[in-house]
């Protein structure tokens, strides 16, 4: 794989790659289409090879995900390899239920820099068990032991919306970075009820913006169903699934996929400029965040 030049890296390399370490999850949330209950974890040596390929593409940051990444038996080894390869940022997205003190200490030692947990409410229901009642112990252990940053997102859409405010309050009490999100469907779109929309607006006015929310697209998206932007997925953001296929994001695996082993600087450049038909209604904050710095640059017109 030919490495990008300095100018190519500045112009087209991924700001973040979401690397799936296992498709399996310990939960079965009713709104999620990104898991199964049977897949084996991707072997650590295969993940290390993919990390090397991502580094060769000039990738700046890695987000380890799933499924549920804490089901991977060699997760700390994978984090350690991320740090050895020199990624600027190494993070992980987890439901938090399996984050024990022993795992926290292992992740500290490996050099994890950021952990993100999304919590749907306070009390479990038929849709979700990813709630504060089940996670308070784990959050307390993270506060006590973690040497990496922790972001807790209250997610509107799976529980009574008023419960999300309690999640945000609890995250702030523990000193974590709080965020508020809205559940998106399998097409990457938000469809909140009027009450959910009112709660979302109240919470977002209250919370300071993180870098991930620097461009406030969500108000227009929730009001109008669209918030046009220039999507740079396939370039500034890569989604690498358990089979080593690169897609624009988790919701477009059936639309665009190419083996990471064959992905080149030419692919980064082509996807940087490519118009994506789903982009105006996209609710995936990870893609929008990675795209926001390049909004001034050109993009192919819709066809």
Here the tokens at position 71 are 């089901």
pLDDT at 76: 98
Q: Read off the pLDDT band of 193 (50, 70, 90).
A: confident
Q: What sign for the dihedral angle of Cα 52, 54, 58, 59? A: negative
Per-residue pLDDT, 49: 98
Q: How far is it, in rounded angstroms, from Cα 15 to Cα 9?
A: 10
Neighbours of 294 (CB within 10 A): 19
The count of other CB atoms within 10 Å of the CB of residue 70 is 23
pLDDT greater at residue 65 or residue 285: 65
pLDDT band at 263 (very low <50, low <70, confident <90, very high): very high
pTM, entire model: 0.93
Across-strand partners of 62?
17, 90
Mean pLDDT of 94-106: 97
Whether 69 shows a pLDDT value over 60: the answer reads yes
Structure tokens at 78: 């994978």
Tell me what percent of the residues of the chain surpass a pLDDT of 90: 74
Whole-number pLDDT of residue 65: 97
Q: How far apart are CA 256 and CA 241, in angstroms?
A: 12
Report the pLDDT value the prediction gives residue 235, as an integer from 0 to 100.
98
């Amino acid at each position: 794989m030919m490495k990008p030049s300095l100018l190519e890296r500045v112009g087209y390399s991924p700001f973040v790659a979401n690397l799936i370490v296992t498709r399996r999850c310990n939960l079965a949330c009713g709104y999620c289409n990104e898991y199964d209950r049977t897949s084996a974890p991707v072997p650590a040596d295969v993940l290390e090879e993919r990390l090397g390929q991502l580094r060769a593409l000039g990738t700046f940051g890695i987000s380890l995900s799933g499924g549920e990444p804490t089901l991977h038996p060699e997760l700390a080894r994978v984090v350690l390899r991320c740090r050895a390869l020199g990624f600027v940022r190494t993070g992980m997205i987890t439901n938090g239920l399996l984050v024990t003190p022993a795992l926290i200490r292992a992740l500290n030692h490996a050099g994890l820099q950021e952990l993100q947990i999304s919590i749907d409410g306070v009390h479990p229901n038929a849709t979700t068990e990813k709630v504060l009642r089940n996670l308070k112990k784990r959050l307390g252990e993270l506060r006590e032991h973690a040497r990496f940053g922790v972001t807790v997102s209250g997610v509107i859409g799976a529980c009574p919306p008023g419960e999300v405010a309690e999640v945000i309050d609890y995250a702030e009490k523990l000193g974590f970075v709080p965020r508020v999100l809205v559940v998106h469907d399998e097409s990457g779109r938000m469809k909140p009820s009027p009450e959910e929309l009112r709660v979302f607006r109240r919470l977002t006015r209250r919370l300071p913006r993180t870098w991930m929310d620097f461009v406030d697209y969500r108000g227009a998206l929730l009001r109008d169903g669209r918030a046009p932007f220039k999507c740079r997925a396939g370039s500034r953001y890569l989604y690498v699934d358990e089979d080593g296929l690169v897609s624009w994001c988790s919701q477009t695996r059936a639309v665009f996929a190419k083996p990471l082993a064959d992905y080149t600087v030419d692919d980064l450049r082509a996807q940087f400029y490519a118009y994506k038909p789903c982009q105006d209604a996209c609710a995936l904050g990870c893609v929008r965040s990675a795209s926001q710095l390049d909004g001034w640059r050109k993009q192919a017109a819709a066809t």
